[in-house]
Amino acid sequence: MPPGRKRGLQYTSPLHAIRSPMDLLTNTFKQALRDGKPQIGLWAGLASAYTSEILAGAGFDWLLIDGEHAPNTLDSTLAQLQAVAPYPVAPVVRPAWNDPVQIKQILDTGAQTLLVPMVQSAAEAAAAVAAVRYPPQGIRGVGSALARASRWNRIPNYLERANDQMCVLVQIETPSGIEALDEILAVDGVDGAFIGPADLSASMGYLGQPEHPVVEKTIDDAIGRIVRSGKAAGILHGGMAQAKHYLALGATFVAVGVDAVLLARAAEALAGEFKELSAVAASKGPY
């Protein structure tokens, strides 16, 4: 027997060898937003744990795992959360809809920060907040023994502490949402608001024209209102100058690209170096 080792079975949880259970619960992305630290992100829409892990090591502060427009399932979302976990990047998950059942399942896989699409009223924002909180503050179903979120009940006092670590970001992408923005921002538990340029421009009558002057003015005004409320402002824009413009306005979480777009344009450019190719007519948009 090695010197100093006591007789009998001794068990050291492998969890402690990786990260402390308390650290696993702490939402560092939420804290960064509260501290006003700019967080630069990238859209992960390829629905692949392999590519998301590649992106996780690229140096971004956050990755958006997209369940609205990308072909993600609960299984692929879980796989990506597991793939990026060892890296210093915060996963943000966008559900397909503001649905409490879907949100419950996503949270149980370990997501702590959600970007909820198409929020158009204070009532819808309050519903999103309720969906991420356990009773009595909310309606999230309790199944922590089955949940990766609690590390299968290895995180001490998970049920009592989880509510405070949830981060709710609501997506504003219609004129109705813009009109109700101040009321939405006043909802307790809403941590930030994200302007969706593509859907906003379409719903304003400028389909495919997110850089139309009327749309840009609306976006600038909305970001100003979010910043003045004390909540975090966010947006996605693949143009470097425009992304920096939004950061200068006070936006805190800004996505500056989409993985599928980066892959497509880089592949086209490389092929074009060796072959006579017709220029690809990319659709107009903020990506």
Q: Which is nearest to 63 in space by CA: 94, 19, 108, 107?
A: 94
Which amino acid makes up residue 102? Answer: Q
Report the phi/psi class of residue 153: left, alpha or beta, with left for phi > 0 and alpha for psi in -120 to 50.
Answer: left
Chain length of the chain: 287
Supply the DSSP string of 17-83, one letter for each residue. HHS-HHHHH--HHHHHHHTT--EEEEEE-S--HHHHHHHHTTT-SEEEEESSSS---HHHHHHHHHH
As beta bridge partners, residue 90 has 62
User: Among all residues, which ones are annotated catalytic?
Assistant: 69
Q: How far is CA 140 from the centre of its chain?
A: 19
CA angle 103, 106, 108 (to 5 degrees): 110
> What's the CA gap between 227 and 224, in Å, rounded?
5
Collapsed DSSP state (helix, strand, coil) of residue 195: strand
